[in-house]
Amino acid sequence: MLLSQNALAIRPLNLYPVVYISLLFGILHAVSVSPDESCISFNLTLRNFRLILSWELKNRSIVPTHYALSYTIMRPAGEMIVEDCINITRSFCDLTDEWDSMTETYVTTVVGTRGNTTLVNCWDRVFPALDTSLEPPEFEIVGFTNHINVIVEFPPVIPKMLVMKNLQTQLSLIIEEKSGSIVKLHRPKIDGNTTGNFTYVIDKLIPNTEYCVSVYLEPKEAEKIRRSPLKCTLLQPGQESESSESAKIGGIITVFLIAAVFTSTIITLRRIGYICLRNNYPKVLNFRNRSAWVFPELPPLEAVAIVKIIHINRKKKVWNYTYDDESDSDNEAVPPASAGGYTMHGLTGLCPASMSSASSEDCFNPDPEEPPLPQPGAESEPLMAPGPGPWQSECTDGAYERTGNLLQDPFPEEDSCSTEGSEDRIIFNVDLNSVCVSTLNDDDPEVPPVLSCIPEETVDLEDAEEVETSLLVAGGEGMQLPFPSPPVECLWPEDAPSEKSDTAESDVDIGDGYIMR
């Protein structure tokens, strides 16, 4: 009985250590068992270009007070402990300076404790190339008249995980521009040197229009994009700073253009000679140094008086081809030559009605020996005075009157006709110096000229003044001596002595019917 009683007493005592040890091993096993991957979930986020790993326990009933983070990679390497994330109370850790490869698989372990008690020991794999969530960066917008400045905040140093060896980033910055239903994407280039405030200008916008801007990062191979909240601005029309600058620039350009056009116009007009005519005439037209003038001197202007010519028909002495002295003109009935007077030679039809009867008889009864002379009016040959004589330069007065006593009949009565040719054509050789001329009165232009025929009797020189007024002028109208004879006083400066000798000098040399002076 005792043995059975002792056996019963020994069995419980032997079981206590076993149970104790079993319980001890059980607890230890529970502590040292591999982490349950399902107890935790990791979130890898790129926030403001910082790599933040946050976690959350799936069993929320367990709330540790402190956490410790460690990780390893799938290549042969030890456990890497993050010193900044040991015994932390927060449930996230900044791994920007720890993880440097996007293609590496990081096996991350989080141990949660409370006091000295470890409540959780969870791990999970993290593949940054696929698991990183890109949060949009911070940015600001500034709206102007027709453009918007987008200022994106970059860190002083971009994480080495995001920058490859050639400074190209694993990310792409996208700026989204929205206006109504129109969406436009802008992709500014960023690299490892992009730091600080990065400004991007969205230009060519419509003034007075509302635009909204959103910014986000787009990884190379990503399925999820997280956009930033929209920031909108209304572009104001004609902002002062912008409009004033543009107005100034426009004004300057306009003034410059106007000045250029004006200058070019002036230069062109000057070149073509429209303005500022040149004084440098061609050499051909330079007359300063010429010694001899090519052009003749123009005669001095003279007042020309319209005069009418009184034709006096004079017989031309016709030579009868004899040298007989008897036929000399001395034996001929020389018509009484007036002392300086005139001899009518039968100019028919020339005497107006106002003529005196005596003179009219003489006019209409010309010397029968004389052939009929054509009317001077029929052939109004321009009686051109001979070349300028020396006396003409002295006497510029055009009007003058001949007096009978100034002329000597150069032609004999019979032969005073200077006609030539046949009876059908009569050619006059009239010496202007031998015809009666008188100046027309301006007061009575319609008064027909009165021809005062000089009778065959000699006219006394003393009555020269009376004869002057009674002299009739015959001839064509408008016959004007281009070189009117100067006044009597100028014509015959030697008249005074000649007057006295006219009667005595009956044998004056008359030459060819002209009075020799």
Partner 1 sequence: MINKQFFEIMLVLLASSTIFSLELKLVLFQQRRVNRESLKLLNRLQPSAIHQCLSHRRNFLLPQKSVNPHQYQKRHTLAILHEMLQQIFNLFRANIPLDAWEESHMETFLIELHQQLEYLEALMGLEAEQKCGPLGNENLRLQVKMYFRRIRDYLENQEYSSCARTIVQVEINRCLFFVFQLTGKLSTQGMDP
Q: Does 390 bind partner 1 (CB under 8 A)?
A: no
Q: Does 32 bind partner 1 (CB under 8 A)?
A: no
Structure tokens at 457: 């009797």
Q: Does 72 bind partner 1 (CB under 8 A)?
A: yes
Select 61 or 166, whichever has its Cβ closest to partner 1.
166
Residues 109 and 70: beta-carbon distance below 8 Å: yes
Q: Are strands 182-186 and 171-179 parallel, antiparallel or unpaired?
A: antiparallel
Q: How far is the CB of 111 from partner 1 (least distance, A)?
A: 14
How far is the C-alpha of 328 from the C-alpha of 246, rounded, in Å?
Answer: 117
| Interface with partner 1 (CB under 8 A), residue from 71, 93, 124, 373 | 124
Q: Which of 449, 444, 437, 442 is nearest to 486 (CA)?
A: 437
User: Which stretch in 123-131, 233-241, 286-294, 379-387 sits in contact with partner 1 by CB under 8 A?
Assistant: 123-131
Residue type, 68: A
Structure tokens at 220: 């190379």
Residues 108 and 70: beta-carbon distance below 8 Å: yes
Q: Does 103 bind partner 1 (CB under 8 A)?
A: yes
Q: Which of 247, 225, 226, 229 is nearest to 238 (CA)?
A: 247
Q: Which of 458, 442, 438 is nearest to 505 (CA)?
A: 458
User: Which stretch in 13-21, 30-38, 263-271, 415-423 sits in contact with partner 1 by CB under 8 A?
Assistant: 30-38
Q: Does 130 bind partner 1 (CB under 8 A)?
A: yes
Q: Does 107 bind partner 1 (CB under 8 A)?
A: yes
Q: Does 384 bind partner 1 (CB under 8 A)?
A: no
Q: How far is the CB of 104 from partner 1 (least distance, A)?
A: 7
Select 104 or 466, whichever has its Cβ closest to partner 1.
104
Q: Does 517 bind partner 1 (CB under 8 A)?
A: no
| Interface with partner 1 (CB under 8 A), residue from 14, 89, 166, 357 | 166
**Which residues, numbered 205-224, are part of the site for partner 1 (CB under 8 A)?**
220-221
Q: How far is the CB of 165 from partner 1 (least distance, A)?
A: 7
User: Which stretch in 119-127, 356-364, 451-459, 497-505 sits in contact with partner 1 by CB under 8 A?
Assistant: 119-127
**Which residues, numbered 317-376, are part of the site for partner 1 (CB under 8 A)?**
none
User: Which stretch in 1-9, 62-70, 82-90, 161-169 sits in contact with partner 1 by CB under 8 A?
Assistant: 161-169
User: Which stretch in 71-79, 274-282, 373-381, 443-451 sits in contact with partner 1 by CB under 8 A?
Assistant: 71-79
Q: Which of 153, 143, 219 is nearest to 179 (CA)?
A: 143
Q: How far is the CB of 105 from partner 1 (least distance, A)?
A: 5
How far is the C-alpha of 343 from the C-alpha of 355, rounded, in Å?
Answer: 16
H helix intervals, 102-194: 128-131
Q: Does 516 bind partner 1 (CB under 8 A)?
A: no
Residues in binding contact with partner 1, number by CB under 8 A: 25
Say if residue 3 is exposed, middle or buried (CB neighbours under 10 Å; 0-12, 13-18, 19+): exposed
How many other C-beta atoms lie within 10 A of the C-beta of residue 399? 17
Q: Does 133 bind partner 1 (CB under 8 A)?
A: no
Quick one: DSSP state of residue 111? E
Q: How far is the CB of 60 from partner 1 (least distance, A)?
A: 20
Structure tokens at 355: 């003529």
Q: How far is the CB of 113 from partner 1 (least distance, A)?
A: 20
| Interface with partner 1 (CB under 8 A), residue from 104, 177, 332, 460 | 104
How many other C-beta atoms lie within 10 A of the C-beta of residue 226? 14
Distance of CA 429 to CAs 211, 311, 480, Å?
A: 114, 11, 17
Distance of CA 449 to CAs 280, 322, 480, Å?
A: 57, 43, 15
Binding site for partner 1 (CB under 8 A): 34-35, 37, 72, 74-77, 102-105, 107, 123-125, 127, 129-130, 164-166, 168, 220-221
